[in-house]
Amino acid sequence: MPYNKFEEYNMQVTDDVKTRYKHIINDLGEDTQREGLLKTPERAAKAMQFLTQGYDQDPVEILKGAMFKESYNEMVIVKDIELYSLCEHHILPFFGKAHIAYIPNGHIVGLSKLPRIVDVFARRLQVQERLTEQILDCINDTLQPQGVAVVIEAAHMCMMMRGVQKQNSTTTTSGFRGQFEKIETRNEFLKLIGK
């Protein structure tokens, strides 16, 4: 069976953004009628819609859709969650991994929902610090666990390709709520994710 790719785009937005990209490419000195660039404005418009689709998704509903009553009350960790986002300052990518832990308080959540929450917030124009807080607060406010921890490690193309041009730099952000504010719980989490 052949591969079928299915992506939905708002055609009005696609056409508007496509026109803007065409102007940008022209303003940069390129010829948008050149064979290799003929479809670039449309591709870029669709790519931008894909990379910012998090604005149209509700992370709270995603979590609530997979919450289950459970008496388990030990740490749950999902680590090495790939993330890709766009820096809101330069609209250049940053990418890396998120590590999430929570201690249930009567409810657990389907494990796949934690990476989905990362994607919802990452698929917006972002800064890593806010991304960390949004993931943390969403899980904390929705699940109301005994505690939540989030660590994000990412490389930023705005630091690697331009500006200071430091290709080997990474940025780590973290946030802790509830039981993870206690040093022993926090240290257990950090040890389990290899930090």
Q: Does the predicted model carry a pTM greater than 0.85?
A: yes
Exactly one of 49, 87, 99, 179 is catalytic; name it.
87
Q: Which of 61, 70, 82, 88 is catalytic?
A: 88
Give the span between the Cα atoms of 174 and 166, in whole angstroms. Answer: 22
**For residue range 115-165, what is the model confidence (pLDDT) as tens digits?**
999 999 999 999 999 999 999 999 999 999 999 999 999 999 988 888 787
What 8-state DSSP symbol labels residue 1?
-
Q: Do residues 105 and 73 lie in contact, with contact meaning Cβ atoms separated by under 8 Å?
A: yes
Q: How far apart are CA 174 and CA 133, in angstroms?
A: 8
138 catalytic, yes or no?
no
Q: Which residues contact 159 (CB under 8 A, 6 or more apart)?
A: 165, 166, 169
Percent of the chain predicted with pLDDT > 90: 88
Say how far residue 185 (Cα) sits from the centre of its chain. 25
Task: Give the per-residue pLDDT at 4.
Answer: 52
The pLDDT assigned to 167 comes to 78
Which one, of 121, 105, 108, lies nearest residue 173 by Cα?
121
Q: What is the pLDDT of residue 5?
A: 54
pLDDT of the residue at 195: 84
128 in catalytic set: yes
Q: Which of 42, 53, 57, 90 is catalytic?
A: 90
